[in-house]
Structures are given as C-alpha cells and as structure tokens.
Amino acid sequence: MSDAASRPLKDLRGVGPAIAEALSRLSLQTLSDLWFHLPLRYEDRTRITPIRDLRHGESAQVEAVVDAVERGFRFRPMLRVTVSDDSRSTLTLRFFHFSKAQAEGFVPGLRLRIYGEAREAAGGFEIVHPRYQRVQLDTPLDSALTPVYPATEGIGQSTLIRLAKLALAALPDDAELDVLPEALRRMAHLPSLGEALRVVHAPPNSTDVAALLARSHPAQQRLAFDELLAHQIGMRKLRRHLRAMPAPIIKYDRKRRRAFLDALPFALTKAQGRVLGDIDRDLAAGKPMLRLVQGDVGSGKTVVAALAALAASDAHVQTAVMAPTELLAEQHLRNFLNWCEPLGLRVVWLAGKVTGKARAKALADIAAGADIVIGTHALMQEGVVFANLGLAIIDEQHRFGVHQRLALRNKGRDGTRTPHQLVMTATPIPRTLAMAAYADLDVSVIDELPPGRTPVQTVAVSDARRDEIVERIRVACAEGRQAYWVCPLIEESEQLEAKAAQATYEDLQGALPDVRIGLLHGRMKPRDKQSVMDAFKAGELRLLVATTVIEVGVDVPNASLMVIDNAERLGLAQLHQLRGRVGRGAAASSCVLVWQPPLSALARERLAVMRETNDGFRIAEKDLELRGPGEVVGTRQTGEMNFRVADLVRDAEVMPKVAQAADWLLEHDPRAADALVSRWIGQAVEYAQA
C-alpha cells in the first residue's frame, strides 16, 4: 500500500497528543484508518423544514427565532428555549447539560439554525440537545449533506469532519489505492475506490441525496462490495490454511457399510446417497474436509453423519458429535448406539451434567480411543482429550459460532493432522447469503425428504378458540395419534418458560382427563426428561406439553399434531423447526398456530407464510426479508460478521461477483488481497488469521 496510507495521523495539521489519543480509542492510527472511518449517517442541512411540517422521530433542520428562555432546576438542571418560525408554530429546545455561557447565549430575537430529531411532546414539538448555530437572514444553506461519524469522548463531529477532509486530500490516485481490477469494477458498475471515498466523506453538491440517505448510492455500494470482499477473502484464507494441513485418510469399509445399511429399516434417499458420496470423497482426500450439509427438517441428516462416523472408525480415528441441546444430543446418542454398537463401535456420552465418576470414566474412554463421542458444548472443555480425533460433526451448526467450530477442530490437532469437519444445519439459507456466511465451507444439500411423508397442514387460530383446539387433540389421541403442545415465551428465561408449560400442562390435564399427558422442560433433571421422552416415543404418553426445548432434532414419527402457543411471538425459522417435529411418519399431520391478539402486521405475515408453505427454503428467504440476516444465520455467527457498510439482505445479489473477485485477487494479487483484509477487518477477527 502507498506511503500515504500508513502515515500516522499525528502528522495531520491540528492533531496534538490529546486528539491523537482520542483517535486511537477509535482505532484510528493512520491516514488509511481515517479513509475507512466511514460516516454512520448523514444530516441533511441543505434545506429548512417549517416547524409545522416536522414529523415525530424524524431529523430535520429548522430555522427559527428565539422567543423565550427558561432555566429550571427541578430534579436536575434544565434549559428550555422556545423558538418560532414563519410557519408560526413553536418548537421547544431542551438541554440537560449546558454551560452558563451557553444558556446566556440564547436571547430573544436571536435567529438560529437548529438540527435534531423532533419528538412530539405535550406542548408541541421539541428537540432534545439539538445542534444549532446562529445565522443571519441571508446565511446560505449547506450545499451538501453533513456526514456523521462514529465519535468518542474528546473528539467531536466537527474535528472528525475536518480531519477526514485533510486525510482525503492525501488520497493517492486509484492506481495505487484501488485493489479491484478495472474490468471487474466496470462489470459490477462500481465507481473507483477514490471516487467512492470522496463521495461518502464529502458528498458533492450534485450527489443524489436520497440515494445516499437510503444507503443505496453507488459509492456506498462500492464500499459495501469491498467490505464483503474482504470478509470473503478472510474466510477463503482460513479455508486454504486449513486445507493445506494433512488430515487422516479415511476410506470406508464396504462390508461394514453394507452391514449398517442392511440393518436400517429404510433405504437411503437419492439425496442422502449423493451427499454421502461427497463426504466419502472428502474423507479419503488426505486434506481436512470442510463440509456443510444443509437439509430441511426431517431430511435425514443424522444417518448420513453416522455413516461418516462409521467410516472414521474403519480408519481407526475418533468422531466427536456435538449438538446444541442436551435433548438433541441424547437423541443422537440413542440413534448412534442403535446403529453403531451392533457393529462393535464404542459410543461415549459427555454432557455438562455428566460429573464425578461418570465424567472421569467418559474422559478415560475418550483418551483410550472410544470410536464416537457424543455430547454438547462440554466436548470442547479443557480436560477433554481425544486419543486421535479424526472427524468433528457439529449438528445444527447455526446454533454455534465459527469460533466454537474451530475450538472443536483444535481438539484434534496433534501438530501433524487436522480433523475433518462436518457441519449440519436445517436452517436453509438462501444461496447468496450462504456464500457470505459459509465461504469457508463446501456445501451439500439433502434436497429430498424420505418417501411417504405428507406435507403438514397448517392453520392459524386465535387463542379465543382454545376449546376447539383441545377438542381436536382429544379426537386425535382417541384415533391413536400423538400430539405436541409447545409453550414458548418471549423472555429468554428457562424458568418462566417452564412455568408456562407447567400451567398449560395442568390445564390440559383438567380438560383431557382421558389423555395421558407428559411435561417436558429445560429445568427438569436429565433422567426425568429422558423418561418422559421415552414414554412419548413408546406411545405411552399421547400428548407432550413442552417448552421450546423440543425445537431442534426431536424425532417421534407417530406424532402428527403440533400445537404452538403464542405463535405470534416466534420467528419463522423457529416456527418451521417446531413444525418439523411432525410430518415425520406416513400419517397426515397438522400444525395449529395459536395466536394472541393483537396481531402485528409482521406476525400476521409470518403466520401467513407458515400457512402457505412447508418449504424451508422459501421460509428462509421470507425470514431474511422480514428479519434480516443476523437472525437467519444465527446471531453468534453474524456477531462475528459485523459489517460496517454492507448489508447482507440489500447486497445479497452482488455476492456472486464478490466471490469472483475474491478468486481473482487471491490468484493474481495476494498482496492486495491481504491489504484489503487488513483495511476492513484488521487483526480483530479470528477467522481472518486462524
């Protein structure tokens, strides 16, 4: 990069030690840092809004004359300045922190330009702590938008604006600054980097103001492109780094695989077979597998994972299977025991609640080379030492973060070999988003459900019709079917959720005396949970009242009715997961979404989507549209993907071009690729250098 880029900020005019210190608190050390310290938003001071036209919650500039000044000290100091304008409306300016000089500066008759967010208060509009300046009748308006930067104590907006201008003046020409090849830039219809930076920091008069405010200006798109590209390159580099390490060569034993498949009560679907083929190839290649298996709820990912674990044991390496909840991990345990123990594999259980002697025994078995270890986060704890971990399987990957995945992988690094990684998710995410979120992974999709499944019929009914729902359960249970009743709560409190489930359980027991009902929530002892699950699986319990603990993975094919209470509170992904607990057998299944009025427009739309489709892919796309990517990909994960200008929903369509650009740069200009990563991500992100 150019010399200008690495010049320290204290070289700039007016940057003394105090300002330099404040700048470094914003991680701003060099000119380049300042170029990429982008405005959060803009203030439009190019026009005046009459007070009469102010709107609650919107920022505006007003020009008005001071009518009255009032200082009060009720609970704390307070300054109220009343102003009015030609629209003959009044506006109150309110200050809680102010200096004496500032208060005395307001005198009736003084003409001010005021900028801030208007709120509607009892006595009309007010603005709290507005920015203001004295003006004359003929003071010209700003001709351009005013940027607002992320600031910190000791450094104000005006200083940042001034410094940004100085830094921009030292911007080298594009040949030096811009890492995107010209052809690519033109193909994506993007301005040069220098041009983009000049526009966002100091929008010229001719700028499309509306576009800039809406963050859709080409200059912003250019910067978003670079930011996405930097993340893409960071993830690719992580991938390359991993793939450069040797991994155990795993070739499955044909006889044992045949024995496994012959013992299954079903044949693999074509899609399962294809995905297993992808995994077989990866495992045999001598490089660490990095594969994401995506498959809708109920598509049969578990058995594919078990076949991979069997292959690992054929090659005498261990497999770790990690699930996000204990309930799901236990279910895996039972499946793996069922499928793998008859073939002579040793399966070990390790969850957080395994303590004392049992834990010591589990740890000893793991260290002695047990074939398959199944558990929760507990698998990643210190003290868990594998003899030779060769395959790490992570179920419901969206519940974990990238770093947790890396932590489990690190368990198996013995300096020479890196374990293979297989991650599975039932949260189908649109392809463009997957490109951004999982750039370090190869993706296989199980795009087919096992045969004989009938789509779940979904209805949404108001809570006022609870009696009808209870009757429906009674009929279903009398017909030999089984049902779930899920009680979610909005609070993230297991305790409150458990209470709600308990209350519903008692209600339903009163209403359905002939139905054997079970209760399941996260506060129960693992053994009790297990016995309830077992009884439900065995059909002894006909109705299971549960909290959202059953959200992921639980599999009881005979259950064909799902009631979800307070469905209006849940997001689409969660509703889809919960609904996926039914429709697993041959019986026609249904799902009743019970909602409490009032129903927000958003909730109404979500329920409509659930009624319309069972397609996890469509639902994910809708979810992305309604909620934004953070929650679709999983909060932890996007927590590590904090974008400054990019927005995965808005910018999704450029992802294919971003991926192309990443390929090109990594191949032709690796130094520029590195520069881009440090420009946008710096050293802060683990995955950029892991």
Least Å distance, CB 260 to ligand ADP, is 13
Q: Which does 319 bind (CB under 5 to 8 A by kind): Mg ion, ligand ADP, none?
A: none
Give me 540's structure tokens.
């002894």
Nearer of residues 147 and 553 to ligand ADP, judged by Cβ: 553
Give me 217's structure tokens.
């200006």
| CA separation for the pair 312, 672 (Å, rounded) | 40
Among 14-22, 300-308, 359-367, 522-530, the segment contacting ligand ADP (CB under 6 A): 300-308
Least Å distance, CB 304 to ligand ADP, is 8
End-to-end CA distance of the chain: 23
DSSP 213-264: HTT-SHHHHHHHHHHHHHHHHHHHHHHHHHHTS--------HHHHHHHHHHS
- Bin 628: left if φ > 0, else alpha if -120 < ψ < 50, else beta: left
- Could you tell me if 60 and 114 are in contact, meaning their C-beta atoms sit under 8 angstroms apart? no
Nearer of residues 303 and 460 to ligand ADP, judged by Cβ: 303
Length of the chain as a residue count? 690
Nearer of residues 446 and 594 to ligand ADP, judged by Cβ: 446
Q: Which does 39 bind (CB under 5 to 8 A by kind): Mg ion, ligand ADP, none?
A: none
One residue of 59, 92, 221, 299 binding ligand ADP per CB under 6 A:
299
- Could you tell me if 440 and 290 are in contact, meaning their C-beta atoms sit under 8 angstroms apart? yes
One residue of 37, 584, 606, 679 binding ligand ADP per CB under 6 A:
584
Nearer of residues 405 and 472 to Mg ion, judged by Cβ: 405
Return the residues of window 443-482 that contact ligand ADP according to CB under 6 A: 450
Across the beta sheet with 559-564, the strand order is 457-462, 590-595, 559-564, 482-486, 543-546, 517-520
Tell me: does residue 292 bind ligand ADP (CB under 6 A): no
Give me 154's structure tokens.
């000791």
Tell me: does residue 616 bind Mg ion (CB under 5 A): no
Look at the block and give the residue holding tokens 């198996």: 412
On the question of a cis peptide bond just before residue 598, with omega within 30 degrees of 0, the verdict is yes
| CA separation for the pair 372, 421 (Å, rounded) | 14
Tell me: does residue 269 bind ligand ADP (CB under 6 A): yes
The CB-side HSE value for 609 (13 A sphere, CA atoms) comes to 27
Q: Which does 629 bind (CB under 5 to 8 A by kind): ligand ADP, Mg ion, none?
A: none
Helices (H), 548-627: 572-579, 601-612, 616-627
| CA separation for the pair 522, 518 (Å, rounded) | 14
One residue of 553, 580, 616, 634 binding Mg ion per CB under 5 A:
553
Residue of 656, 634, 628, 685 whose CA lies nearest to 228: 656
Return the residues of window 152-191 that contact ligand ADP according to CB under 6 A: none
Tell me: does residue 428 bind ligand ADP (CB under 6 A): no
Among 296-304, 533-541, 571-579, 613-621, the segment contacting ligand ADP (CB under 6 A): 296-304
| CA separation for the pair 88, 329 (Å, rounded) | 68
Tell me: does residue 295 bind ligand ADP (CB under 6 A): yes
| CA separation for the pair 257, 274 (Å, rounded) | 15
Least Å distance, CB 448 to ligand ADP, is 9
Among 114-122, 290-298, 514-522, 668-676, the segment contacting ligand ADP (CB under 6 A): 290-298
Those residues with Cβ within 8 angstroms of residue 497's Cβ, 6 or more apart along the chain or in another chain: 487, 488, 489, 491, 521, 522, 547, 548
Nearer of residues 577 and 637 to Mg ion, judged by Cβ: 577
- Bin 129: left if φ > 0, else alpha if -120 < ψ < 50, else beta: left
The pair phi, psi for residue 379, each rounded to 5°, is -60, -25
Give me 379's structure tokens.
């698998």
Position with the least CB separation from Mg ion: 553
| CA separation for the pair 34, 597 (Å, rounded) | 50
Nearer of residues 218 and 324 to ligand ADP, judged by Cβ: 324
Nearer of residues 218 and 553 to Mg ion, judged by Cβ: 553
Tell me: does residue 338 bind ligand ADP (CB under 6 A): no
One residue of 9, 426, 532, 665 binding ligand ADP per CB under 6 A:
426
CA-only gyration radius of the chain, Å: 30
- Compute how many residues bind Mg ion; rule: CB under 5 A: 1
Return the residues of window 529-568 that contact ligand ADP according to CB under 6 A: 553, 555, 557
One residue of 302, 376, 614, 638 binding ligand ADP per CB under 6 A:
302
| CA separation for the pair 549, 325 (Å, rounded) | 8
One residue of 303, 320, 402, 508 binding ligand ADP per CB under 6 A:
303
Per-residue contact string for residues 431-450; x = within reach of ligand ADP by CB under 6 A = -------------------x
Tell me: does residue 266 bind ligand ADP (CB under 6 A): yes
| CA separation for the pair 310, 422 (Å, rounded) | 14
Least Å distance, CB 554 to ligand ADP, is 8
Nearer of residues 272 and 444 to ligand ADP, judged by Cβ: 272
Tell me: does residue 390 bind ligand ADP (CB under 6 A): no
Among 31-39, 114-122, 177-185, 546-554, the segment contacting Mg ion (CB under 5 A): 546-554
Q: Which does 147 bind (CB under 5 to 8 A by kind): Mg ion, ligand ADP, none?
A: none
Tell me: does residue 585 bind ligand ADP (CB under 6 A): no
Nearer of residues 276 and 661 to ligand ADP, judged by Cβ: 276
Residues that bind ligand ADP (CB under 6 A): 266, 268-269, 272, 295, 297-303, 426, 450, 553, 555, 557, 584
Residues that bind Mg ion (CB under 5 A): 553
